[in-house]
Chains A and B, each alone.
Chain A
Amino acid sequence: MSNHVQIHIAKDFSEYPAGRYKEHGPNSGERFRDEILAPAFLNNPGKNVHVNIGDILGYGSSFLEEAFGGLIREYDLTKEDVLARLEIKNGLKSDRLRIIDFIQEA
């Protein structure tokens, strides 16, 4: 039994993630958060969540902020818990840092 849950955005969600809210498009940060990211945290208490952000050409801030910052705003999760359990894999260092910033600023 693995002690972590894996999410690969390009494979499990979309190669073209974009936008903030569901009404603005099919690959929004809100949909990714509600359908994939939040369930990974809520349904697997105590487990780490590894999110692979690689294989995608460029993330917009709207998507990342709504997905990761929104996790704190919209769900009963604390910044400390999320930051302790979340591990961002691959992708650019600047994108990994942006995600951490969005969680801390949420």
Chain B
Amino acid sequence: MLLKQTTKKSIRRKEETQKNQHNANLDRRFKKVHYHRTNENEPAKAYRKLIAPQCLDLNTYRGLLLRFLYFIDYWCLEKSVPIMIDFSKTVICESVGTMLTMATIDRVLHYTKNEDLITAIPPENVIANQVFMQIGLSTLLKLPEPNVVDHEDVVYWRCVSGHQIDTEHAIKTLKAIFSTYPFSEEAKHALAGGLTEAITNTSMHAYPSDDDKWPDELRGMLKTEHKYWNSSSSRWWMFAGVKDSRLSVVVYDAGIGIPRSIRHTRKDRKGWFQELVKAEKSLVSKVLRAEQIPKLDSYLIDLAMNQKKSRSNKKNRGKGMTDLKAFIDITDNGHLVVLSGSGAYYYSSSKEVSHTYKSSMRGTLITWSTTIDK
């Protein structure tokens, strides 16, 4: 028994060491300086080369992808250093991971208004290259585009972005999918209603303005983030696609995230938190005793999804989260996933679970998915 435990411990330690070594190598690679000359008459410009992960996959390689995205932010926004992203070895473009990558690049370019800040080497993989073109990443990065997009896994991918609550493009994207695949009227309306409400939430809660009355302990942190927010950066991105007879619709914002938004209400924060404690006393006290604050992320997302109360603390507000679940309640094989900070919330007709990851992501990502009858 003791031997078993020791072996397990040593394996875990070895894995931990390997992981740290890998991260250190990755950091070193990201920090290396390269020089690039666009024109023979011009001096070579220094830039950082970022090797993109082989798999842009948030589900399986979450830590790796988030670290890669962090370095895009770090070099471009913190250091104002141009980067060249090498996607040549990228072979797997999972929908959520790819959209997150695109949103990060789009956000940085929008904020800096400097198109030359990010250049890229396109994927050698044909399908990955087609994905880049189909969702607009090739255009964004001025990459050479493939002549045709004909792979069946790629053709039905759609990606749009918007600012404020302008849902026209998002709803039109859904209508295009509904015109090809059969859904009941109730299901169509439920998904569109959930999508509309998710976009509404980005505008109302994700990007608090300077005059929002935040608690003192948060103000400093938000001020740092405000450095990289301007009127055009309070954006959302939407992806919709069909793969292996499964429809996925994803909405992402790069704002403060649900846990922070709900934890720090503007008014009567103490009362609100006491109410939560009363509602789920055992779980809250357990979490708080452990002082594992990140664990609260999944807990707070769970609360946000299940309580009719929002950051505003108004009686008439906070009803929108129910809209997000409506599509799942109607469809047989539907799944809703909400990721924010280090928390995750999964909802289907048969289960409702929360999970906490080690790595924390910026903003909030909501995914609806369901199987499609051909």
Which residues of A pack against B, CB within 8 Å? 15-16, 18-21, 24-28, 57-63, 65-66, 69-70, 73, 92, 94-95, 105-106
Contacts and interface: CB of A to CB of B under 8 A. Distances in A.
Given A18-B196, A19-B203, A62 B320 contact: yes
A20 B173 CA distance: 22
Interface in B159-212: 164-168, 171, 174-175, 178, 185-186, 188-197, 199-200, 203-204
Contact of A65 (B171, B175, B192, B319): B319
B38 interface: no
B323 A61 contact: yes
B224 interface: no
Contacts of A27: 165-167
Given A18-B165, A25-B166, 5 more contacts: A24-B164, A27-B165, A58-B195, A61-B322, A92-B186
B147 interface: no
Q: Is the interface of B mostly helix, strand, loop or mixed?
A: helix
A81 to B, nearest CB: 19
Given A61-B320, A61-B322, A73-B316, A19 B165 contact: yes
A95 B185 CA distance: 12
A57 B319 contact: no
A25 B171 CA distance: 15
A66 to B, nearest CB: 8
B200 A18 contact: yes
Contacts of A28: 165
B190 A58 contact: yes
Contact of A57 (B164, B189, B199, B317): B189
B315 to A, nearest CB: 8
Contacts of B199: 18
Contacts of B166: 16, 18, 25-27
Contacts of B203: 19, 24-25
Interface residues of B, number: 31
- Interface core residue of B178, B193, B197, B322 (most chain A CB under 10 Å): B193
B316 A106 contact: yes
A79 B200 CA distance: 27
A71 B203 CA distance: 23
A16 B320 contact: no
A27 B168 CA distance: 10
A54 to B, nearest CB: 11
A18 B320 contact: no
Contacts of B323: 60-61
Contact of B200 (A24, A70, A73): A24
What 7 A-B pairs are tightest by C-beta distance, nearest first? Answer: A58-B192, A25-B165, A19-B165, A58-B193, A60-B197, A60-B196, A57-B192
Contacts of B195: 58
A58 B200 CA distance: 13
A58 B188 CA distance: 7
24 contacts: A16-B167, A16-B168, A18-B167, A18-B196, A24-B165, A24-B200, A24-B203, A24-B204, A25-B166, A25-B203, A27-B165, A27-B166, A28-B165, A57-B188, A57-B189, A60-B196, A60-B323, A62-B320, A63-B200, A69-B316, A70-B316, A94-B186, A94-B189, A105-B316
